[in-house]
């Protein structure tokens, strides 16, 4: 068993804080000043995460896990042939030790969707869009799209945890990935 440190505290704090706020803002507090304050704090963390994607630790950097066509093709054919990534491959291939290519696509989708939600939420507070039903509808449609994406994201995390035989959820909590 080898333990590799992959997720630094910035990545983990941004992740779990965002998860908590999304759950609160889309259920119990779906309007009001606390909703707006929590939403803006997600927006701040989004900016922090994007900056961190350029200057952060190795596995946090976008350049480490950017899903190119070649990486996606290789990953999908690995999934189709149902092969488990070998330990040597995980050890050599730092892209797969961090986010895998399909996971990375989902991450960009989640970050962009969150940005649109925060922007449309902010627009509703401006004079121009004050009381705009359209803006509220767009905000809500993107929240629904986010929640569907999150369901796919969590399913992907569970499937990949079984396939690669490593608990990805505990890795996002402790920062360390255990490789058997």
Residues that bind ligand HEM (CB under 6 A): 11, 14-15, 18-19, 21-22, 25-26, 30-31, 35-36, 39-40, 42-43, 49, 99, 103, 107, 110-111, 117-118, 121-122, 124-125, 136, 139-140, 143, 150, 153-154, 157, 168-169, 172
Q: Closer to ligand HEM by CB, 105 or 172: give it.
A: 172
Q: Closer to ligand HEM by CB, 72 or 157: give it.
A: 157
CB 88, min distance to ligand HEM, A: 19
Residues present in the chain in total: 180
Residue with token string 């705009």 = 132
Query: CA–CA separation, 101 vs 69, rounded Å?
Result: 9
Phi, psi of 21 (to 5 degrees): -65, -40
Phi, psi of 12 (to 5 degrees): -70, -40
In sequence order, the β-bridge partners of residue 178 are 3
Query: CA–CA separation, 148 vs 91, rounded Å?
Result: 33
Taken in order 21, 116, 147, 110, the sign of the CA dihedral is negative
Give Dmax over CA atoms of the chain in angstroms. 58
Q: Closer to ligand HEM by CB, 83 or 112: give it.
A: 112
CB 103, min distance to ligand HEM, A: 4
Residue (of 74, 142, 151) closest to 114 by Cα position: 142
CB 32, min distance to ligand HEM, A: 7
């Amino acid at each position: 068993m080898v333990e590799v440190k992959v997720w630094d505290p910035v990545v983990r704090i941004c992740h779990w804080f965002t998860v908590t706020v999304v759950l609160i803002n889309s259920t119990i507090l779906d309007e009001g000043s606390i909703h707006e304050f929590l939403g803006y704090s997600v927006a701040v963390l989004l900016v922090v995460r994007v900056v961190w994607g350029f200057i952060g630790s190795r596995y946090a950097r976008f350049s480490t896990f950017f899903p190119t066509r070649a990486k996606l093709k290789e990953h999908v054919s690995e999934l189709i042939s149902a092969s488990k990534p070998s330990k040597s491959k995980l050890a050599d291939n730092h892209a797969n030790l961090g986010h895998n290519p399909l996971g990375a696509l989902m991450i960009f989708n989640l970050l962009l969707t969150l940005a649109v939600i925060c922007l449309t939420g902010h627009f509703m507070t401006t004079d121009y869009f004050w009381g705009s039903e359209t803006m509220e509808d767009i905000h809500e449609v993107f929240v629904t799209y986010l929640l569907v994406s999150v369901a796919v994201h969590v399913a992907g995390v569970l499937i990949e945890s079984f396939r690669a035989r490593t608990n990805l959820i505990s890795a996002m909590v402790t920062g360390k990935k255990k490789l058997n």
